Amino acid sequence: MHAPSPPAGPLLDRFAAIVGAAHAIREPAAMAPYLDEPRHKFHGSTPLVLRPGTVGEIAAILKLANETRTAIVPQGGNTGVVGAQVPDRSGTQIILSLARLNRIREIDPASNTMTVEAGVVLAEAQAAAAAADRLLPLSLSSEGTCQIGGNLSTNAGGVGVLAYGNARELVLGIEVVLASGEVWDGLRKLRKDNTGYDLRDLFVGAEGTLGVITAAVLKLSPRPRGTGVAFVGLRSPAAALAFFEIARNHAGGALTAFEFMPEIALDTVLRFIPGTRDPLAGRHGWYVLFEISSSKSQADADLAVEAIFGEGVGEDLVEDGARAESLDQAHAFWRLRHSLSDVQKHLGGSIKHDIAVPLASVPEFLERAAEAVTTLVPGCRPFPFGHLGDGNIHYNVSQPPDMTKAAFLARWDEVNQAVHAIVGELGGTISAEHGIGVLKRDLLKTVKSPLEMALMRRIKDSLDPNGILNPGKVL
């Protein structure tokens, strides 16, 4: 099989004519931001970046691409960390940016839904929902940059999964442009619809390999009338897990977040992020940030926080804690958590894992993983944090202080294999919320059965027989 040739000038002109010269980028400097990703692990090449502003333009682009066998790489806010949104180095793949498809089409308070286009930034969608006295509960560290289309294409998780579920669970309907250029309008507001196969779920989480999501109907929730946030110190992951059970039993669905981090994580944030402060007086091995949302009042939320904290102290699980006394203080607590992803760069190279294990196995996983990685790379610094309430841990490992970044990152595959082996033994997953992309494409074949891989391939071949949509990603 011969490698594909870069699209010729006349073909590029045909693509550019669809969106207009002002929205067809060919200059290397202007294209550069589209060719790299946040971790700088994958860098691609493209002859053209297209920025369509309508669904019709996207349909025309994909129709032409399908007819000419031209590969298309959909891209949202470019915040993904597995390389799904960047082209390869061949120079044959055109980037399709969804950034201009950024309209909020409708907010329907009666149905508790909003219909948004794929290029809407998550934070802007949240603000629009809030203006209608509703809550869009999807919340990520990258929410000021990431876009709805990317959130759905990766089935994003975030800090609200505990109460509201992943992105997939927040979607009622979608609009998708297929590889053929056909547009499927599945923008339904229905909570119940058992009319045949659920096509929506084929595209959510498919990372742009089956179609381009252009709009979605998202579920909204009533805005909480009170939100209580607390930051507590504990001695161990086992204590944190037991404390989670107390919080869940007390608050039920009102427990909207339960995040945890080790001492090294908090220390690194306090050291490198200006304006951050330690909420507690002493030092602790582990920390938990939890949030209670009340449909009644702020006083009700505060009382629930105090009751949970008190029971945790009474059971000798919580060593110390602080409840946010104001909205500003709550934001300050959350800033500690949201800073964790970016602050690791100050410790040098970091080998990343986005895993999940059954909740009861979290303490065992953390103990075994720490032993495995420090045996492989003596002096390395485990930096695990994440969503304890749903078993999703970002098990990141920072380089030893006396080792070069390059030498440490050269051990990436070796460290990954050790961590993922433990995950597999505990019945977990190698990708809880970030997706597969390029980073975990080869690994996917080792954790999925041959039948599962064959079924996914059949779906791909059926919807994209010419293989133009995000080739080389996932499969």
pLDDT digits (tens, 9 = 90+) for 206-257: 999 999 999 999 999 999 999 999 999 999 999 999 999 999 999 999 999 9
Q: What is the pLDDT of residues 346-394, one digit of tens each?
A: 999 999 999 999 999 999 999 999 999 999 999 999 999 999 989 999 9
Q: Would you list the DSSP string of 76-125?
A: SSS--SSSTTS--TTS--EEEE-TT---EEEEETTTTEEEEETT-BHHHH
Q: What is the pLDDT of residues 283-317, one digit of tens each?
A: 999 999 999 999 999 999 999 999 999 999 999 99
Confidence of residue 3 (pLDDT cuts 50, 70, 90): low
Confidence of residue 4 (pLDDT cuts 50, 70, 90): confident
**What CATH number did the domain enclosing 289 receive?**
3.30.70.2190
The dihedral region occupied by 431, where left means phi > 0, alpha psi between -120 and 50, and beta the remainder, is: beta
Whether residue 337 is found in the same domain as residue 356: no
Helix (H, G, I), strand (E, B) or coil at 137: coil
Whether residue 212 is found in the same domain as residue 111: yes
Whether residue 333 is found in the same domain as residue 367: no
At residue 446, the pLDDT reads 87
At residue 454, the pLDDT reads 97
**Cβ 22 vs Cβ 66: under 8 Å:** no
Q: How many independent structural domains does the chain possess? A: 3
1: pLDDT strictly greater than 50: no
Neighbours of 272 (CB within 10 A): 15
Whether residue 240 is found in the same domain as residue 218: no
**What CATH number did the domain enclosing 407 receive?**
3.30.70.2740
Rounded to whole angstroms, the Cα distance separating 396 from 383 reads: 5
Rounded to whole angstroms, the Cα distance separating 280 from 283 reads: 8
Token couple for 244 = 């989670």
Query: Has residue 47 been placed in a domain?
Result: no
Residue that finishes a domain, picked among 162, 193, 222? 222
279: pLDDT strictly greater than 70: yes
Averaged over 25-41, what is the pLDDT? 94
Q: What is the pLDDT of residues 122-170, one digit of tens each?
A: 999 999 999 999 999 999 889 999 999 999 999 998 888 999 999 999 9
Supply the angle between the helices 362-376 and 412-425 in degrees, to the nearest 10: 150
Query: Has residue 321 been placed in a domain?
Result: yes
Q: Would you list the DSSP string of 158-209?
A: -TTHHHH--GGGGEEEEEEE-TTS-EEEE----S---SS--THHHHTTSTTS
Averaged over 396-410, what is the pLDDT? 97
Q: Would you list the DSSP string of 12-69?
A: HHHHHHHH-GGGEE--HHHHGGGSB-TTSS-B---S-EE---SHHHHHHHHHHHHHHT
Whether residue 247 is found in the same domain as residue 269: yes
Residue that finishes a domain, picked among 207, 222, 237? 222
**Cβ 311 vs Cβ 257: under 8 Å:** no
Nearest residue to 139 (alpha-carbon basis) of 268, 313, 245, 259: 259
Percent of the chain's residues with pLDDT above 90: 93
Whether residue 316 is found in the same domain as residue 385: no
344: pLDDT strictly greater than 70: yes
Neighbours of 91 (CB within 10 A): 14
Query: Has residue 137 been placed in a domain?
Result: yes
Whether residue 207 is found in the same domain as residue 250: no
Mean pLDDT of the chain: 96
Domain of residue 422 covers: 348-433
CA distances (Å), origin 104, targets 76, 95, 101, 108, 215: 16, 23, 9, 11, 9
Whether residue 244 is found in the same domain as residue 334: yes
**Cβ 408 vs Cβ 377: under 8 Å:** yes
Going by their DSSP bridges, the two strands 171-177 and 212-219 should be labelled as: antiparallel
Query: Has residue 43 been placed in a domain?
Result: no
Q: Which of 198-202, 353-357, 402-406, 443-447 has the lowest mean pLDDT?
A: 443-447
Whether residue 324 is found in the same domain as residue 253: yes
Query: Has residue 278 been placed in a domain?
Result: yes
The whole model's pTM is what? 0.92
5: pLDDT strictly greater than 80: no
CA distances (Å), origin 314, targets 3, 37, 301, 320: 66, 47, 20, 12
Query: Has residue 251 been placed in a domain?
Result: yes
Q: What is the pLDDT of residues 65-112, one digit of tens each?
A: 999 999 999 999 999 999 999 999 999 999 999 999 999 999 999 999
Whether residue 319 is found in the same domain as residue 356: no
At residue 158, the pLDDT reads 86
Helix (H, G, I), strand (E, B) or coil at 324: coil
Query: Has residue 317 been placed in a domain?
Result: yes
Whether residue 283 is found in the same domain as residue 318: yes
Whether residue 234 is found in the same domain as residue 314: yes
